[in-house]
Amino acid sequence: AIGVLLPEEYMTKDLCEFLQTRLISVYADSDPENPDSMYRAVLAGVDGLIVDDIHLLYEFFTVFPEKTLLRKPLVIGHRGMSTHSPENTIEGSMLAYQAGADVIELDIYLTSDNHIVVIHDSTTGRTMNGNLTVESSTLSQLRTLTILDSTGNFPGLRIPTLGDYFSAFQNLDVQIF
């Protein structure tokens, strides 16, 4: 995991959100003797406050009402929206984005002819209608297979490349991870 310690002058909601949607944890170096800086950091949405005295931190948080939501949770579409579409497909990832995902998580492999393809397993047997080893196959060989679709809504899909993903999502406000 990657984390940053932001100085007070950079502690803004926009910057915290920007970093967090790139899966970077944001922390603030806080002084419990200066509650205004701690409020500013918490309201900016930091993941944590760095303090010298944990008891002062607990005391600080008692001023917030119980079950206060201080920032929007980050929504990650794991392999897209695999409950409604085949996993690791552009179509499934688009469904996750449309449902509100901030981040689309993918799994990638390099083919024998140096194409980066999006697939979870090292072989195609579980997710496609044939069994090839991804890293020992060319993109053309992999694209002779179709992706299995238990929903029946996406027949005939082929394995996408990472470039296909970048093209499909290039103008959308979502991170590809």
Query: Can you tell me the distance from the alpha carbon of 89 to that of 158, in angstroms, rounded to the nearest whole number?
Result: 8
With a pLDDT cut of 90, the percent of the chain lying above it is 53
Q: How confident is the model at residue 166, as a pLDDT? A: 95
120 is a catalytic site residue: yes
Query: Can you tell me the distance from the alpha carbon of 169 to that of 11, in angstroms, rounded to the nearest whole number?
Result: 29
Query: Can you tell me the distance from the alpha carbon of 124 to that of 104, in angstroms, rounded to the nearest whole number?
Result: 21
Count CB atoms within 10 A of the CB of residue 151.
12
Confidence band for 97, pLDDT divided at 50, 70 and 90: very high
Give tens-digit pLDDT for 158-169.
Answer: 999 999 999 999
Q: With 0.85 as the threshold, say if the pTM is over it.
A: no
Give tens-digit pLDDT for 46-93.
Answer: 888 887 777 777 777 787 777 776 667 778 888 888 889 999 999 999
Query: Can you tell me the distance from the alpha carbon of 128 to that of 82, in angstroms, rounded to the nearest whole number?
Result: 14
Q: Which of 55, 84, 115, 120 is catalytic?
A: 120
Q: How confident is the model at residue 43, as a pLDDT? A: 84
* Residue labelled with tokens 């979502």: 174
Give tens-digit pLDDT for 104-162.
Answer: 999 999 999 999 999 999 999 999 999 999 999 999 999 999 999 999 999 999 999 99
Q: What is residue 72's DSSP assignment?
A: P
For 23, counting Cβ atoms within 10 Å of its Cβ (0-12 exposed, 13-18 middle, 19+ buried), the class is middle
* Residue labelled with tokens 């509650």: 35
Mean pLDDT of the chain: 89
55 is a catalytic site residue: no
